[in-house]
Structure formats: C-alpha cells, structure tokens
Amino acid sequence: MKTLVIYAHLLAACVSIGTLLLQDLALWRSRYRVLTQDEILTLRNTATIVFIALLVLWTTGAGLVTMGYFENPQAYFSNQKIWAKFSVVIILSLNGVFLHFYSFPKIVGNKAILQLPSLDQKWIGCSGALSTVSWLFACYLGIARTWNYSVDYSSIMLLYAGLVLFAFIVAHEVMRMSRTVLLTNLNMKESADRDTV
C-alpha cells in the first residue's frame, strides 16, 4: 500500500513540475505580445492540472506522514526535514492562490506581460520564480534521504530562502533586460517610421 501511495505522490509531483516548466517557457516566449485565445485556454488547463496534482500531493503526503508516524511514533516527527517540506509546500500552495487570483488575470488581459505596469511585472516575475523554486525544492526534499534526522529545519529553510532570493534577483534582471530590448526595438521602429515619411 505504501509503495502505491509513494508512486502516486511522485507521479503528481512529476506532472506538476513538467506542466509548470512547459507553461513557464510558453509564457516567456510570448512576453512581448498578447496571448491568443488558444494560449489562454492552455494556461487555464495548466492551472487546473496543477491544482488537481497539488490536491493529490497533499492527500498522498498526509497518507505517507500518517504511515511514517505509525511505523515509528517516537522519532518520526523529530525529522526536521519533514517540517521543512511541509513549510515549502504551504508556501507554494499560498503562492498558487496568488498566481490564480493576481498573476493569471493580468497575464490573460489585453496587454502583453512587458506592457503591464512595472509593479505588476515584478509581482508576476517573483511569483513565477517562487513557484518554480518551491516546486523543485519540495521535490528535492522528497528524495533527499540523507537529510533525514541529520539536517536541521533552520538550515534547510535558510538554503530555501537563499534560492528564492536568487530566483527573485534573476527574475527581476530578466524582466529589466526584456523591457530594455522592447524599448530599444520600439525606438528603432519609430526612427525607421520617421525616416520613411
């Protein structure tokens, strides 16, 4: 029974990660233009798939924790890696709510991502970066067996915070460089239009 629960847990994680990374790549490619109706439909389908996968992850994760506790009730919850994984999954779940109610409505509007106000671009970039790092880190914690009972909660969360901060910096810089490219292209187009008049 436990093997089946682990399999379902891993399968849900793989579906989530694969779907999110493909969707992030598609959004990145379309950053200079408004999304088509097909792209918006794909984005909504992706959100549904990830939501279902997250429910499966929470359910199977709770099942694994329950099984682990009954196997070793005295020591199981002293494994601080479990608490770190719960913390990261809570963060990615809350960030998913933010993505659904803030980022997605902005992305599927009548403006390209790089045409949105600067603050919106920063929130979208940071929430996307937080999502990617959190999913990947949670998956890593799931397989990091050598961290069981050996690495404390604060060390794990400090590493996670460092990765998130790095991802925020990268997202900010990528957005800034993309805006620069967009403005340069627009200025070149305006100059070319004036020269042809």
Residue 187 confidence (pLDDT) = 64
Please identify every stretch of the chain with a pLDDT value under 50, giving residue numbers as ranges.
Answer: none
Residue 191 confidence (pLDDT) = 63
Residue 130 confidence (pLDDT) = 95
Q: What is the pTM of this model?
A: 0.85
Q: Which two tokens stand for residue 38?
A: 């097909």
Residue 197 confidence (pLDDT) = 53
- 149 φ/ψ sector (left φ>0, alpha ψ -120 to 50, else beta): left
pLDDT tens, residue by residue, 127-179 = 999 999 999 999 999 899 999 999 999 999 999 999 999 999 999 898 888 87
